[in-house]
Amino acid sequence: MQYLSTRSDRPLAGEIAVPGDKSLSHRAVLFAAMAEGTSRLAAVLDSEDVRASIAAVRALGANVDITAAGDRGLELTVTGWGAEGPRTPDVPIDCGNSGTTARLLLGILAGWASEVTLVGDESLSKRPMGRVTDPLARMGASFESPTGTLPVTLRGGGLKGIDYVTPVASAQVKSAILLAGVQASGRTTVREPASSRDHTELLLPAFGVPVGRDSAARAAWVDGPATVRASDITVPGDPSSAAFIVVAGLLVPGSRITVSGVGLNPTRIAYLDVLDRMGADIRIQPTEAAGAEPTGTVHVGYTPELRAVVVRAAEVPALVDEIPVLALLATQAAGETRFEDVGELRVKESDRLAAVIEALTLLGASARAEGDTLVVQGPSELRGTGLDSHGDHRLAMTWALAGLAADGPVTVSGFEAVDVSYPSFSADLAALSANS
């Protein structure tokens, strides 16, 4: 599917609520499937990735009923497998394009004496799984994966807690180990070189599993075995999806946009700190919490003069998904913007580092890699061109925004990738344009 994006001839204006947080939607579904009892989940993101998690837990024995589906996402009732454990499926579990589904399931299933094979689509089958299977094997699970990628066959059960230092800061890796620790004997501790997203640490206690934390040491732990109990959860808006609406407002002259009901977890909104340093007109208004997650409203106004910044390596884990759209915005900032130590982009849904440099160059901007550092020089006049999403939802949305500021049409091939996280993205952009 191709998407045609053209320079906006009017400001973007209005208030919008982005879809439910993808990371939290996955975790709510997966944790409810592990639990004793029935959980009620609201505002769950209706996307291909989350549907992959729903299909996976159904195949493993959880009962999932979709009681409503609408603009605010899915409403689900989930009766988990609890103390009986997941059933052994007759066929491999298909995780689609979802790395979160695959990696967190490896942790969840590692504690049970069953054999399960996980598979994924072509893109997911290129992503590394050894960073998860290696620590889980130290706990006592066994794996067959000749290439270190999917497909992976897991044989679990009889886990013992470990104290593990991750080589990279990754919420998926940390979560997989902690979830394995729920069924393990003794304490399981994960230590990271930098702080990653902490949704698992915040949400597990809502399901009855205490999580210890030492923020200074960047450590989290669980004591197992522990009982997961049903919980009712409402998912806040996804801050990563909000980032694209916010940047749209910064690209189109005269725009003023309000994004309401968005998650404001500090491990997810580092991109707003970067935008503030760039001089962007951004205002954050906290509101009520959704479960353990802080939420609020983000107000953004077009800012004609942005300045270049340096994004340090320590910041990257908290904004790695927003780097493509921040790199696009950096083409409009005065000076050299540097994103340090972003090699993790090479193993996302696509090689995002190479894809960003290729696309920004086609748009007429100056972008290059210095080792694992992405360098963007601005300001640049963007020109119309054809761009490829490479099947990556973040890239598809980023290149759609490029057309709003380019001097000619930008066509985005493979735009259907947005269905992974933000199916209503193009409709929401059109609504904001119509409001001016």
Judge if 272 and 386 occupy the same domain: yes
Domain identity same for 187 and 288: no
User: Is 94 annotated as catalytic?
Assistant: no
Overall domain count for the chain: 2
Last residue of a domain, one of 234, 260, 293: 234
Q: Does residue 130 register a pLDDT over 90?
A: yes
Question: How confident is the model over 103-121, as a mean pLDDT?
Answer: 97
- Write down the mean pLDDT value for the chain: 95
What percentage of the chain has pLDDT greater than the value 70? 99
Rounded mean pLDDT, 62-90: 94
Last residue of a domain, one of 169, 203, 234: 234
Q: Give residue 344's pLDDT band: very low, low, confident or very high (50, 70, 90).
A: confident
Q: In terms of domains, do 158 and 291 share one?
A: no
102 pLDDT exceeds 90? yes
Find tokens 């210095």 and name the residue.
370
Q: Are residues 359 and 413 in the same domain?
A: yes
Contacts of residue 38, Cβ cutoff 8 Å, sequence gap at least 6: 77, 78, 79, 80, 230
For residue 154, give the nearest of 99, 105, 117, 108 by alpha carbon.
Answer: 117
Please state the rounded mean pLDDT for residues 314-319.
Answer: 89
pLDDT tens profile 350-396: 789 999 999 999 999 999 999 999 999 999 999 999 999 999 999 99
Give me the pLDDT at residue 28, please: 97
Residues 176 and 246 in one domain: no
Residues 421 and 287 in one domain: yes
Looking at the structure, tell me whether residues 348 and 209 fall in a common domain.
Answer: no
Say if residue 70 is in the same domain as residue 142.
Answer: yes
CA neighbor of 237 nearest in space, from 290, 278, 164? 290
| Candidates 46, 198, 321, 388; catalytic one | 321
Say yes or no to pLDDT of 291 above 70: no
Domain's final residue, options 212, 234, 256: 234
Q: Tell whether 224 and 253 lie within a shared domain.
A: no
> Is the pTM value of this prediction over 0.75?
yes
Whether the per-residue pLDDT at 348 is higher than 60: the answer is yes
Which of 293, 337, 344, 336 has the alpha carbon at shortest distance from 316? 344
Chain position carrying tokens 């889980």: 136
Q: What is the pLDDT of residue 347?
A: 75
Instruction: Report how far residue 271's alpha carbon sits from residue 61's, in angstroms, rounded to the nearest whole number.
Output: 39
Residue from 199, 325, 331 nearest 268 by CA = 199
**Taking 60 as the threshold, does the pLDDT of residue 290 lie above it?**
no
Q: Does 436 have pLDDT greater than 60?
A: no
Mean pLDDT of 249-272: 95
Give the residue numbers spanning the domain of 197. 22-234
Q: Residues 192, 302: one domain?
A: no
* Whether 203 and 335 share a structural domain: no
CA gap 347, 87 in Å, rounded? 31
What would the pLDDT profile of 219-248 be if each residue is shown by its tens digit? 999 999 999 999 999 999 999 999 999 999
Q: What is the CATH number of the domain that holds 338?
A: 3.65.10.10
Q: Is the pLDDT of residue 22 over 70?
A: yes
In angstroms, the CA 129 to CA 111 distance is: 17
Instruction: Indicate if 155 and 295 belong to the same structural domain.
Output: no
**What pLDDT was estimated at residue 392?**
93
- pLDDT of 146-200, one tens digit each? 999 999 999 999 999 999 999 988 999 999 999 999 999 999 999 999 889 999 9
